[in-house]
């Protein structure tokens, strides 16, 4: 069985919102790295977000 994280199940828009909210709430850098890794995997770039 292939394992993949829950972040892969999120839509691109929801992933972006998750990142923005995580930064707003000052969540751990490890969590932010997981999100940015997934964004990079999908080649998602948004000028509003400072990665």
The CATH class given to the 7-41 domain equals mainly alpha
**10-33: burial string, b at 16+ Cβ within 10 Å, e else:** beeeebbebbeebeeeeeeeeebe
Q: Using H for helix, E for strand and C for coil, what is the string for the chain?
A: CCCCCHHHHCCHHHHHHHHHHHHHCCCCHHHHHHHHHHHHHCCCCCCCCCC
d(CA 25, CA 8): 22
pTM: 0.77
pLDDT in tens, 8-47: 999 999 999 999 999 999 999 999 999 999 999 999 876 5
């Amino acid at each position: 069985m292939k394992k993949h994280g829950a972040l892969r199940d999120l839509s691109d828009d929801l992933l972006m919102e998750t990142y923005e909210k995580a930064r707003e709430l000052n969540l751990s850098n490890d969590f932010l790295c997981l999100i940015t890794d997934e964004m990079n995997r999908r080649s998602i770039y948004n000028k509003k977000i400072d990665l």
